[in-house]
Amino acid sequence: MSAKTKSFDLNQFLATRTDAVNAALDKFIPSEKTKPATIHKAMRYSLFAGGKRMRPAVLLAAAEACGGTDKAAMPLACAVECIHTYSLIHDDLPAMDNDDFRRGKPTNHKVFGEGIAVLAGDALLTQAFEIAAQAASWPRYSHRDLVLEIAKASGSLQLVGGQVADLEGENKKLSIAELKFIHERKTSALLCCSVRLGGMSANCTPAQLKALTDFGYNVGLAFQVIDDILDVTQTSEQLGKTAGKDVAVQKATYPSIVGLEKSRKIAADLTAKAFAALNIFKGKAVALEALAEFLLKREK
């Protein structure tokens, strides 16, 4: 880590960007009173339940590294958070992970019922594309490119595909290669897409986009390895979601296959690869570097 990154005030970066993302989301999403009110209440309930806003944060940081602005990147930051929140609502449903607790609150279906929770997820997924369509296009990246980016990361080859492989892998012994296949799709794809969209919102060069892709892919994988570690080392109160779930449903994870210590080493190695990808930014990617470090050391 460079001296510049060490002195970078990540807490301030996260606080100001989270506030800005929340304010933008508040404008994009219909108010709680808009009819039919239940669906908008349900969408807002999960969207504003206190998520870490990591995908918007990496997106805005990538835009900054490429000389872009928060203003241009903001619609895309909101779009990826809508996709992420939809995936959490659906993942928590009884037909999937069957969880009662998320972002420190009862899950969406516990409050609004399963039908509305399914629809709140559907509406957030659709809303993401409506918001992305309101972003600017750029000489190097058209609206078509931006929409394709989000659709590809969210569809059956990536996010949904990862969730399918995850469901089908329950109660089975998986190899590290099979687990990586799940993590690349379930977690890394949307994080990588977020980083790339940040660059695209700044009209980044092809070389910058390649660097951001390498960074996002490796940080995304590290994020899931850490998530697996936290599931066994933290409490539900610390995480704001049910801890120990992976062991309870005998889910294959890095700690269950290679142990905690090796899992920590794998996460650190992936983060080092992510750092190396940022070399071409010559010190301009301090926010991205600080975020990668933060994600490696996070406790929730």
Q: Is 105 helix (H, G, I), strand (E, B) or coil?
A: strand
State how far Cα 268 lies from the chain centre. Answer: 19
Q: Looking at 8, 40, 51, 251, which residue binds ligand GRG (CB under 6 A)?
A: 51
Distance separating alpha carbons of residues 20 and 78, to the nearest angstrom: 10
- Of 190-249, binders to ligand GRG (CB under 6 A) are 224, 227
Give the position of tokens 């080392």.
Answer: 233
158 vs 201 by CB, closer to ligand GRG: 158
Per CB under 6 A, 187 contacts ligand GRG: yes
Least gap, CB of 143 to ligand GRG (angstroms): 24
Q: Are 254 and 266 in contact (CB under 8 A)?
A: yes
Containing 297, the helix (H) or strand (E) segment is helix 286-297
Q: Looking at 14, 24, 43, 54, which residue binds ligand GRG (CB under 6 A)?
A: 54
Q: What is the DSSP letter of 106?
A: E
66 vs 216 by CB, closer to ligand GRG: 216
Backbone conformation region of residue 62, classed left if phi is above 0, alpha if psi is from -120 to 50, else beta = alpha
40 vs 84 by CB, closer to ligand GRG: 84
Considering only the stretches 28-36, 46-54, 105-113, 269-277, report the one whose residues sit in contact with ligand GRG under the rule CB under 6 A: 46-54
Least gap, CB of 294 to ligand GRG (angstroms): 12
Distance separating alpha carbons of residues 296 and 292, to the nearest angstrom: 6
Q: Which residue is nearest to ligand GRG (CB)?
A: 51
Q: Which of 168, 174, 192, 183 is nearest to 229 (CA)?
A: 183
Least gap, CB of 171 to ligand GRG (angstroms): 17
- Of 143-172, binders to ligand GRG (CB under 6 A) are 159-160, 163
Q: Looking at 47, 88, 116, 219, which residue binds ligand GRG (CB under 6 A)?
A: 88
- Over the window 103 to 142, marking each residue x when it contacts ligand GRG by CB under 6 A and - when it does not, the resulting string is x---------------------------------------
Least gap, CB of 96 to ligand GRG (angstroms): 6
Give the position of tokens 């012994």.
Answer: 173
Considering only the stretches 48-56, 111-119, 129-137, 196-204, report the one whose residues sit in contact with ligand GRG under the rule CB under 6 A: 48-56
Q: Would you call 77 exposed, middle or buried from its count of C-beta atoms within 10 A (0-12, 13-18, 19+)?
A: buried
52 vs 210 by CB, closer to ligand GRG: 52
Per CB under 6 A, 184 contacts ligand GRG: no
Query: For every residue of 117-175, which 3-state class applies, written as one string?
Result: HHHHHHHHHHHHHHHHCCCCCCCCCCHHHHHHHHHHHHCCCCHHHHHHHHHHHCCCCCC
Q: Let me know how long the chain is.
A: 300
The dihedral formed by the CA atoms of 60, 299, 243 and 241, expressed in degrees to the nearest 10:
-40
Within a 10 A sphere around the Cβ of 262, how many other Cβ atoms? 12
Per CB under 6 A, 91 contacts ligand GRG: yes
| Site of interaction with ligand GRG (CB under 6 A) | 51-52, 54, 84, 87-88, 90-91, 103, 159-160, 163, 186-187, 224, 227
